[in-house]
Structure 1
Amino acid sequence: LRCATDHNLDNTTAMLQEWLEAVGKDYHSVSWKVQEEPSSYPDELGPKHWSDKRYENLMRLKQEALTYAREQQADYILFVDTDSILTNNQTLKFLMAQNKSVVAPMLDSQTFYSNFWCGITPQGYYRRTADYFPTKNRQRVGCFSVPMVYATFLIDLRKEETSRLAFYPPHLNYTWAFDDIIVFAYSCQAAGAEVHVCNQQRFGYINVPVKAHQTLEDECANFVHLTLEAMVDGPPMQRSRHISLLPKPLTKMGFDEIFLINLVRRPDRRWRMLLSLQELGIAPRVVDAVDGSTLNSSDIKVLGVDLLPGVVLGWIFTSASSLQIVSRGLERSVVFEDDVRFEAAFPARLQRLMEELEGAQQDWDLIYLGRKQVNVEDEAPVEGVRNLVVAGYSYWTLAYTISYRGAQKLLAAKPLSKMLPVDEFLPIMYDKHPNEDYKQHFAPRDLLVFSAHPLLVYPTHYAGDSNWLSDTETSTIWDDDAKKTNWAGSQKTLRDTRGSTGHLRSAARDEL
């Protein structure tokens, strides 16, 4: 095992030392190289700027590791950068079994980014090809010949052609960019060593790199987002038990309360949301949802609830639970359902939105943080507040903020006596619902409702996805317990085509 770390502004060295003290005995030998000073490069513009000096240092370190492996007469060498997170403990065995000169496990990210290129120009730059997305999305599965892999890859040192591979100095005929991954790609090409990437299994993740002008805090936000995405898509990342970390300080982001609505019989969703909010530094209060699926029409009448015709029992849990929350008399609160996928830097973006709203002295009753926009027309922007629009007719209440005034307006409408799904009730209350029969039951309809744009959360799954499960859309009509419903193909449950890449939108699409 060979570890190298240098030019750090954080506690990387201390964490590595703690880990090595615990696991070093499991390795044949451990080589440890640390350089605490200086903490920056003389030609860098910032901690995330890849200057020539930084590239040269990394190439030298990798060459030292390659030389060391050859001196030890190793059969293989596995390179793993610190932005690679391997979750599959069979990765090494799998790569060795492929019998390739240079082979990489395809790593997933929260965007289109991965650890391979499918095309390269004669000048050594990235070239778009028709093969990249089918490979990245696993629409084609296997081990494929590619011009470049990086971040995590295995070299078979037993093969004759790999004896000519080098990271530094660059090949005598090298004229491409001074960049470690391109230098190595050229070396493979010159040595006749074929490079492969394999995607048959899920091996792990790679963090999307930030741009040169960004900060360590930006990179941390990216990594938190990657961690949350892994919780949704799986497999989740597991922190090493050999690393001791102080618990993150949790806040309410300036709100009076952060609520999480969850059914007791859905502990998996509760666990994921609580872990996600902990990663984001948010302190929630869990509200046990009213479980409409356990009620029949007689139970509902005993509770003093009256539903409008055609309402599905499963809808009761979100509606009744939301009303429990808004009746608490809080000045400002946030409500999350338990099937939420967060956008990158969620806390900072929400706090910035609320600060701009206050600075513009804009009144508000409710703000959607996640929803499905029903109508195709554009929604008017709110003057003086970036990324906020006047909400039109919307489905879903994935997440929203609500003010005391907004809560009082909702309660004054006496919704328990004429209950609807909450995502139908809200558009009625801001007078954007198309159903005139429903609207006549509620007055006044003057709720002041906006929406984040782009949205800050999306559903974890949509109807048609393999893991989609709705507790509201597949139950019985409240006044006919024998009549089952299945809204799996309704417009309410289907993916919003305008937001079909919603959780990719905030990450720039030009990483490649």
Structure 2
Amino acid sequence: ILIRNKAHTLPYFFTCLEKLNYPKDRISLWIRSDHNQDSSGEIINIWLSERGRSYHSIDSVIKTSPPFFLPDEQGPAHWPHSRQSHIIKLREEALITARLAWADYIWFLDSDVFITNMNTLTMLISKGHTITSPMLKSDGLYSNFWCGMTDEYYYTRTDDYEPILSRKRTGCFNVPMVHSSVLVDLRTQSSDKLSFLPSKVEGYSGPRDDIITFAFAAKLSGIPMFVCNDQIYGYVMVPLEKDDDLSYDILQLTNLKVEVMVENPPLPVSDLLSAWTFKPTPDTLGVDAVFMINLLRRPERRKRMLDCFAELGVDAIIVDAVDGKLLNDDALEELGVTLMPGYKDPYHKRPMKRGEIGCFLSHYNVWKEVVQQDLQTVILLEDDVKFEPFFRQKVEAILQEVSDLNLAWDLIYLGRKKLLDA
């Protein structure tokens, strides 16, 4: 495990690690951390002091900073020759240490990876491959595998990538590159030739890069790399670009935490490390009020939205939706609701159903609240929305743009369901 400037991810990373369903007394931890501009070292030491004794052994070197940068580095996301060489040296040291300890396996795991499937390690071992990686999701198209590599050893997108990423095809796939979470079976004789050092890899003439060198060494040794997407194993952060600073990585963590909650519970965090997590002070996103409509019989949706609001810093008013299942003719008559003669839904070409009437009434009730309170600008969300990355920043940009353009507007759709012919 290599850690640098990951104080924001470590509470979640370590919590996921300690939740793995695998005997801790069969795991030796090898951790290196240096050149940190944040509290990474302190968090590592706290976690190791409380949880380290559960593991078979601990080999950790946490260097204090300054210096914050390696020679020639221009920022925390800059990768000059000196940084590549440093990472290559550390990864090779970890590989040699595992071999000398007669370890059966070595698991290279980045500290911005969140393994949410507690059975991941057991499942990867059961695949029986020399090199296996669990497919990790991000908040976009980025993942921890390549399906194509150019003659110059760089990444190229192929038609095979998206079906694996979206899990339209599931299983374990032979790919030219895996990284960020890589399990290597050291019991196989062929693994002896694996290396991160270009000087140890015969015929390698590619860039000075740890993962590319390792992939070439695997190919040279006749070892296929497999990425497995038969399960949802976990998530990975999108790497920073050269000129990005650490604050941008914190925004990207928010993006990923919200993405996780689309189909899964929030990323777990232990009580030990919860003090190192951050939630923004909630506000109304620059408008008078934010409303969220939710049916009482869907508490799981309400919880997900409240968790998302907490991560995004949104102070929302929860509106109990009108339940179409509770609407009958008497209730509609009491509410004074009648259907226009001959009206048909423009998409389904049929009369409105009770659920759709309930949806309309829910929005109508919010509209009445807006009028009664004389609110000028509001945001209305339903409980099944999927927040895009940088949601807050995009809303702020939209509001600023319409203000700058002095637009006379009534409604702005922040998003809607895509329907054919609609």
Normalised TM-score (structure 2):
0.83
> SS in structure 1 opposite 2:90?
helix
Tell me the secondary structure at the aligned position of residue 232 of structure 1: coil
Q: Which of residues 227, 237, 246 in structure 2 aligns to 1:197?
A: 227
Query: Does residue 1:216 correspond to 2:261, yes or no?
Result: no
Contact 2:148 2:176 in 1 (8 A): yes
Match of 1:266 in 2: 298
How far residue 286 of structure 1 moved from its aligned partner, in angstroms, is 0.7
Q: Rg larger in 1 or in 2?
A: 1
Shift of 1:141: 2.7
Mark the CA change 1:122 to 1:371 in structure 2 (over 3 Å): closer, same or farther.
Answer: closer
> How many Å apart are 1:357 and its aligned residue?
2.1
Find the counterpart in structure 2 of residue 344 from structure 1: 389
Out of 112, 115, 125, the position equivalent to 1:96 is 125
Aligned to 2:21: none
Matches within 5 A, 1:340-379: 340-371=385-416
1:234 aligns with 2:264: yes
Q: 1:160 to 1:373 in 2, by over 3 A?
A: closer
Does residue 207 of structure 1 match 2:248?
A: no
Q: How far apart, CA to CA, are the structure 2 residues paired with 1:60 and 1:160?
A: 23
The runs of 5 or more residues in structure 1 that have no matched partner are 375-489, 493-512
CA distance in 2, matches of 1:307, 1:141: 47
CA 1:129–1:291: 2 relative to 1, 3 Å: closer
CA contact (8 A) 1:207 1:226 kept: yes
- In the alignment of these two chains, the number of paired residues is 377
Q: Which residue of 1 aligns with 2:6?
A: none
As a proportion of its length, which structure holds more helix? 2
Normalised TM-score (structure 1)? 0.69
Identify if the C-alpha distance between structure 1 residues 292 and 140 changes in structure 2 by more than 3 Å, giving closer, same or farther.
closer
Give the Å deviation of 1:162: 1.2
Specify the alignment match of 1:331 in structure 2.
376
**Post-superposition offset of 1:27:** 0.2
Aligned to 2:12: none
Aligned to 1:122: 151
- Residues 79, 235 of structure 1: CA spacing in aligned structure 2 closer, same or farther, 3 A cutoff? farther
Q: Which residue of 2 aligns with 1:74?
A: 103
Counterparts in 2 of 1:450-465, with a 5 A limit?
none
In 1, Cα distance between equivalents of 2:171 and 2:352: 48
- Superposed CA RMSD in Å reads 2.2
Q: Distance in 1 between matches of 2:219 and 2:418?
A: 50
Aligned to 2:345: none
Question: Counterparts of 2:157 and 2:385 in 1: how far apart (Å)?
Answer: 33
Paired with 1:210 and 1:92, the residues of 2 have a C-alpha distance of 27
Instruction: Calculate percent identity across the aligned residue pairs.
Output: 40
Distance 2:241 2:205 in 1: 24
Distance 2:269 2:356 in 1: 37
Q: 1:152 aligns with which of 171, 175, 181?
A: 181
Instruction: Quote the offset at 1:229 in angstroms.
Output: 2.0
Q: Quote the Cα distance in structure 2 between the aligned partners of 1:365 and 1:140.
A: 44
Counterpart for residue 25 of structure 2: none
Task: From 359, 368, 389, give the equivalent of 1:318.
Answer: 359
Distance in 2 (CA, whole Å) between partners of 1:9 and 1:65 is: 24
Correspondences of 1:397-408 after superposition (within 5 Å)? none
Q: CA deviation at 1:236?
A: 4.9
- 1:31 corresponds in structure 2 to 59
Shift of residue 369 of structure 1? 0.8
Check whether the contact 1:46–1:212 (CA below 8 A) recurs between aligned residues.
yes
Query: How far has the Cα of 1:172 moved from its partner?
Result: 5.2
SS at structure 1 position matched to 2:331 = helix
Q: 1:130, 1:348 → 2: CA distance?
A: 32
Out of 176, 183, 187, which is 2:206 matched to?
176
CA distance in structure 2 between the partners assigned to 1:491 and 1:254 by the alignment? 34
Structure 2 residue runs without a partner (length 5+): 1-28, 342-350
SS at match of 2:386: strand
Rate the CA distance shift 1:137–1:352 in 2: closer, same or farther, 3 A.
Answer: closer
Larger RCO: 1 or 2 (CA < 8 Å, sep 6+): 2
Q: Which amino acid in 1 is paired with 2:307?
A: L
- 1:403 matched residue in structure 2: none
Q: 1:3 and 1:242 mapped to 2: Cα distance? A: 19
Q: What CA distance in whole angstroms lies between the structure 2 residues aligned with 1:234 and 1:222? A: 18
Within a 5 Å distance, the mapping from 1:340-489 to structure 2 comes to 340-371=385-416
Superposed displacement of residue 59, structure 1: 1.4
Partner of 2:16: none
2:181 and 2:205 map into 1 onto residues whose CA distance is 25
Q: Which amino acid in the other structure matches residue 201 of structure 1?
A: Q
Does the 8 Å CA contact 2:77/2:241 hold for their aligned counterparts?
Answer: yes
